[in-house]
Amino acid sequence: MQRCLQLAANGLGRVRPNPLVGCVVVQDGNIISEGFHQEYGHNHAERNALLRVSNSSPKLGEVAHSDGGVCIGATLYVNLEPCSHYGKTPPCADLIIEKGVKRVVCCNDDPNPLVAGGGFRKLEEAGIEVVRHVLEEEGRELNRRFFTFMEKQRPYVILKWAESADGFMAPVTPGPYWLSTQRQNRLNHRWRTEEAAILVGSETYLQDSPTLTPRHYLGPAPQPVVLDRRGRVESGKWKVESNRLQPLILSCQTIPEVLHELYERKLQSVIVEGGRKVLDAFIESGLYDEVRILRSPQTLGNGLKAPKVPKIVPNRLTIID
């Protein structure tokens, strides 16, 4: 199951709004195949793994297309309940039954109402043994964006800012100012590829003209969002020429309204990059799940103070020096 989770993580940022899923097939005590969900709209993890069982198997990471044989008596490990409905692809539960798998071991039940126990039920009705809740907490941690979106009906929220060694976000003079080191900046851009949306306030947008793209890291760009409560930003004058996504400009007055709007647009996660007032509003609302701080070796002496680190679960606070 640990291998399933390891495989599943390879889809981060590429399968949204689907969950991260990995699959390992074991027969006679040996791993005979494995796979993961690689891209939204393509084969799910179980299908990739089951269709890979053959003498001429494609390498891990390649998409399997044709029937690769059977798995009579095998045990299939997967970190999320196999789907039982038709979506972009056929039901994985049907293929598991067809291939002769005798046992399925799983981390988590799927909270999606389209599945919600239907996958397990279909397998058990076909005579397949189902073992549930193996490494359950680890599975929820991996798919924390998916579970938050499904269970709380809001996106998973990450608050992120850069601060100087003496605790300031920006100097006294308004305008763009980069505190992050080159290594921190690249990490920040990797983080952007992992989330569905990136949000800033209108003041940050007007003062800094941020591109809001992962231009220093290869990966999908998040949906740019500007919280513009005073109607100061004109969508026709958006400055992000390199971003293929149209900006989403929200006039919502409260954080719950913002998150509801993002939920309605099926944006499963959002990384909030500022400014200070927007970050404070999220902290005061309590509607956030992680805090990430890039702490620069630079000192400013004075300027705009960084937010106070809120009291959150310790493993949800990341500080990068």
Catalytic residues: 46
The Cα 250–Cα 246 span in angstroms is 13
Locus of tokens 């907490």 = 137
Locus of tokens 């709209």 = 41
Measured CA to CA in angstroms, residue 237 lies from 102, 230, 240, 245, 275 at distances of 59, 16, 9, 14, 20
Ordered alpha helix ranges (H), the chain: 2-8, 45-50, 92-98, 118-125, 136-142, 144-152, 182-194, 202-208, 255-264, 276-285
The edge-to-edge listing of strands for the beta sheet with 103-108 is: 30-36, 22-27, 75-80, 103-108, 129-131
Own/partner long-range contacts of 94-100 (Cβ < 8 Å, ≥24 apart): 94/122, 95/46, 95/47, 95/50, 96/46, 96/50, 96/123, 96/128, 97/122, 97/123, 97/126, 97/128, 99/50, 99/53, 99/70, 99/71, 99/72, 99/74, 100/70, 100/71, 100/72, 100/73, 100/74
Both tokens of 282, joined, read: 């999220």
Residue 85 half-sphere exposure, CB side, CA atoms within 13 Å? 9
Both tokens of 219, joined, read: 């990966």
The edge-to-edge listing of strands for the beta sheet with 223-227 is: 248-250, 223-227, 197-201, 269-272, 156-163, 290-295, 317-320
Give me the helix-helix angle, 255-264 and 276-285, nearest 10°: 90
